[in-house]
Structure 1
């Protein structure tokens, strides 16, 4: 059995690579973690991996074949995707990797498509009776309102519109923009919840972490928080057909009223997952045990509450770089 792990679009995910290296060595000392990226020489996560490779962009017609070739060459047994744009193409080609006995940790394409298109995601929320920001008529708006693209990520192209004077033709005419109810951060705190879904698509762990400070859409300061969000998710989404591995859910939570408003689901490891890992929600270990050792993963809430993460920039130095 091949037990090497490959992480795609590694970029700056140094902590994620290190977590997989640490957990993999405990189980399979001779196994390694390999990374791929479009520009691996300038990727700190690639540089600290056991090996790394350059790969074409995900929208290139050769992406799947290149990835498969790298997997064959390096005896890869598991692929862990990390960015939104690669999820759809990988989900559509999941069977290609299964034929090679490679565990591609990506949810089924139906669920991925719903997560990637926020219009479909709202349908998902409705089906599970989960509250989400209500649509606003852009031709008869109520202020303040919030605008974001239906296929956006990393907080790109989002707008808080407080008055009619701030609403421009650009906003109204962009077909990708969704107009929605504004959730007041003075009343609601923003959370990302790192969830783990096993092979049977059952929720096995959920770690809410408050987003205290964010940079470029990724958490910079955050704290784990055992609260009513956990019970809420267990009631609403204890099972999601097609969901596997780490699923990050973003939502707003008003502790005073116990109101929860969901805004996004990203079916992959989030950039802030290292906080959940350090708190004891060991998803790399769960993946290794479930897919390499065929262990049954059951529900756990054995992780540290009120663990604060304060991120800072660090360096990876490469000598004799040309």
Structure 2
């Protein structure tokens, strides 16, 4: 009944949530973590045990992770960063044959999420309005530029006119040129969505992104608004989605207009707000994947207008060398 959260990094709140829900569920399981450098990971310090691993892309790393799971009676692996998802989705059956579930969506969906060009096709297939994409020879300013496989707001730029765009930005074949949404007309949201084992949408919590630091929400607030019903209709009957899915979407302040920009099929850094608002994804995961129960009832009793103000805290490690 043990859980392993990979690439734990700074996700202290997520580790503590799983530890708490395991205890409430009456299970004696533990929450383990992996990281490239566990000694310098705050989340690894508060987990029940941490393991040093290599990058998942390196040869032999999948078997390394599998052996850690087998040697420590891990029943469930919860990945947390984009670069792990494709490889773990490809090896889901390898782990399942050993009695270990990986909480990851199907490979086709993961591949679409990792390539922001493909996720546009996914949005189109669901008739979800998305950001417009421009050719670099036919730009509309201001223009938002980001790599199609980027993460954590790395390599992201905003340009007001063509003279601002450096030559190297134009030369980067990965860059996409996208519609910009200003905060005068639009509010930006991250939506934490939970899909059960049958890919049924169980819960959606829009979190307004009031202030973002290093690509992760620093100040946010839950909003029980029209986005909830909009997504409930759009994601009805979509196969291949599993666990926590985070969607980025803009909502017009005065008009009934939405524009989606991307999906990350994993826990987002701001998920602790949804958890504190009583959208208990860790509990549902434990009951589905460890206790074998069915979570079928749609949940919308989470707290509206709950404000989260994040701050830096410390994890002290004695005797570090």
RMSD in angstroms over aligned alpha carbons?
Answer: 0.9
Separation in 2, partners of 1:239, 1:262: 19
Separation in 1, partners of 2:6, 2:241: 19
Q: What are the within-5 Å matches in structure 2 for residues 29-178 of structure 1?
A: 29-178=27-176
2:306 aligned residue: 307
Separation in 2, partners of 1:296, 1:30: 21
In the TM superposition, residue 164 of structure 1 has moved relative to its aligned partner by 1.7
Separation in 1, partners of 2:263, 2:78: 17
User: Of 18, 21, 24, which aligns to 2:19?
Assistant: 21
Give the paired residue count.
320
Greater mean alpha carbon deviation, residues 51-60 or residues 138-147:
138-147
**Secondary structure of 2:245's partner?**
strand
Greater mean alpha carbon deviation, residues 290-299 or residues 149-158:
290-299
1:318 aligned residue: 317
Greater mean alpha carbon deviation, residues 158-167 or residues 200-209:
158-167
Unaligned runs of 5+ in 1: none
Q: Which runs of at least 4 in structure 1 moved beyond 6 Å after TM superposition? A: none
Superposed CA deviations along residues 155-211 of structure 1, whole A, max 9, x for unmatched, are 111111111211232222110001111112211011000000011111100000000
Separation in 2, partners of 1:69, 1:263: 37
Unaligned runs of 5+ in 2: none
**Secondary structure of 2:134's partner?**
coil
**Secondary structure of 1:214's partner?**
strand
TM-score by length of structure 1 reads 0.98
In the TM superposition, residue 292 of structure 1 has moved relative to its aligned partner by 1.6
Separation in 1, partners of 2:320, 2:256: 54
**Secondary structure of 1:78's partner?**
strand
2:258 aligned residue: 260
TM-score by length of structure 2 reads 0.98
